[in-house]
Chain A
């Protein structure tokens, strides 16, 4: 299964953009890149996913490198409610199971 590598923690100031990186150098051609986040004491929440092209939705943008070996989740204007652990995941298996790594703990400073 392709693995992902993320920084353990990042900090951002409120109302500034945040770029959360993810490396997935062993990604295969059919692997989608998914991002989820988990706020304290809650279940994870879907953020965004993509295959090759950059993707945008109401929560975030996903920038995927041309060789697909890395991607960046972009929060355009961080708020205090965006403080969470962000997970970059490549689903695998017949049921597209999610394997959660340690993720990136994002701290948003007021």
Chain B
């Protein structure tokens, strides 16, 4: 079946650091990729929708200058958390799709000290 690879799986870094998370669709070309965030014991919250070659569409309340999304190809999207602070600590999950369904990565657990 379709596979989405997300890297790294876990990051621990100091406050003020920028962190890049990669999301790759390994065996299909994704027309759309999505980025989600999930805090402990809560559900997934959509952060942004990304199409290859165009600017991402951010959900209300998500700072586009803090969460930079680059969707350079049909198989790769990156999320950069700039100048991360402890409140940005969360589980970040990407998904990719070329229609139905969405295929999810295994997530990146980001811990900011």
Residues of A within 8 A of B (CB): 32, 34, 36, 38, 41-46, 49, 87, 93, 95-103
Q: Across chains A and B, which 6 residue pairs bring their CB atoms closest together, nearest first?
A: A43-B104, A46-B101, A100-B44, A100-B43, A43-B93, A95-B49
Q: For chain A, what secondary structure do more than half of its interface residues adopt (helix, strand, loop), or is it mixed?
A: loop
Contact A97 B95 (CB under 8 A): no
Note all chain B residues with C-beta closer than 8 A to A99: 46
* Count, A-B residue pairs, CB within 8 A: 57
Interface residue total, chain B, C-beta cutoff 8 A: 26
Q: Please measure, in the bound complex, the distance between the C-alpha atom of A45 and the C-alpha atom of B101, giving whole angstroms.
A: 9
Contact B46 A43 (CB under 8 A): no
Q: Please measure, in the bound complex, the distance between the C-alpha atom of A38 and the C-alpha atom of B45, giving whole angstroms.
A: 14
Note all chain A residues with C-beta closer than 8 A to B57: 95
Q: Please measure, in the bound complex, the distance between the C-alpha atom of A100 and the C-alpha atom of B59, giving whole angstroms.
A: 14
Q: Please measure, in the bound complex, the distance between the C-alpha atom of A101 and the C-alpha atom of B106, giving whole angstroms.
A: 19
Contact B44 A45 (CB under 8 A): no
